[in-house]
Structure 1
Amino acid sequence: MSGHSKWANIKHKKGKADAQKGKIFTKLGREIVVASRACGGDLGNFRLKIAVENAKAQNVPNENIQRAIQKGAGGSDGATYEELRYEGYGPGGVAVMVDILTDNRNRTAAEVRHIFSKNGGNMGETGCVGWMFEDKGQLRIPREDLKFSEDDLMMIALEAGAEDLEDDTEEFVIYTSPETMEDVRKALEEQHIVVSESVLSPMAQNTIEITDADQARKIVHLMETLEDHDDTQGVYSNFELSEALASEDF
């Protein structure tokens, strides 16, 4: 929706400070370890391939990537991470989901619950908001690197099986089903179109527009605090800022 901002785009625009790179590398490394463990280090596996590409896009050194793949494929070495998803509500009743990789379920659950309650929300039961989301592939295309028009980009993506294209000022975001994400990504690569990020993540089927600046500030703070938790791999919500708030720096 032109003129509005969803959480995924707000987060992406904020970027990451250099001081946070260690934390980013850690989270990306964990995802590679888990993906590699699930497929035995098979680089043809879609999840592992995406995890490696996202790590490279964030300039994670190749030796770190290879070490994480080998650690996962080796099985029992190091910590065993458990994949969890916590669900709840933020200020104003917006839906929030948090994907977690943790080696201590009880500790992480207590810490995430505390973040929710401290920031005007509450953690709910499994499934309380999950029904509002569906998995979608999201491919980000930097506008400055694109040698095609928006119409041409749309045509290439749609012919490969994409569902939609969103113009987000500095970049385009292509949305796909989980089944067609790889085909669309390959079609873009064949046209030498740079994909800066590829993710498969939950996307709200319907959104709640936030028009009050104070409420928006509280929601964004909750989302950022959840994102900053060491065990968090992704945070998702069904809110979007109104056109009047979309350009605000929260």
Structure 2
Amino acid sequence: MQEVEVVVAHRERTTLRVGDVFLKVDADPARLEVEVEAMALAPVPTPRVLWHEPPVLALAALPGTALGVLGEPSPASSAAWAAAGAAARRLHEAPLPPWPGRGPERDATGLDDECEWLVANGVLPADLVRRNREVAEAAFRPWTPVFSHGDFQLTHVFVDGDEVTGVLDWSEAGRGDPMFDLATLTLGHEEHLDDVVAGYGTDVDFDVIRAWWSLRSLLNIRWLFEHGFDPAMPGGEIDVLRAAAG
């Protein structure tokens, strides 16, 4: 008998796996609509849509395994990481999707509030927050929107050997900053940044990628705590901030 596996669960969305089928339940049906449309437009492998009845989306499992998980060494080869970078490049060179997405200016709005919360609640020392706030400034610069995945983390990129077999979770896709996708992919895995860039090619701003590491981590820590995740896990967001300030 097959069992139901809870892949991820929090108040906004839940993903279940039963055999070779993934069921995504989202409190915001619009995110599922974006996911379905983005997968249809993306020039990279994506899961096959089995059916879509809001608020549930059923997807076929991808072959291969994820590049890795945050906080653990990646089992994937350097060539697989380079292939992920090449997939990001193909996506970023595709025509823009017809809906808006995420840019640095959106994240600037609540950054000071999040920094104050981190210090006021004793989550991080003030000096550490201040230094990462300074590093994050590099993300706030003129930029050209691309077709962005929006949550291009290593658990969402599946590989088989040195080839990308598919990319999951497109609910945050839209017009976005290309450096955000590269930063999300390499968050906590700086040792693979050169591999990703080798596959991606030119026009990579390392300072902006590092800025996004700090910016994303500063903005996400409170959300992670509130939704039952641990940003203090080894290799997680708090370790990322410490490394950036070092």
More strand by share: 1
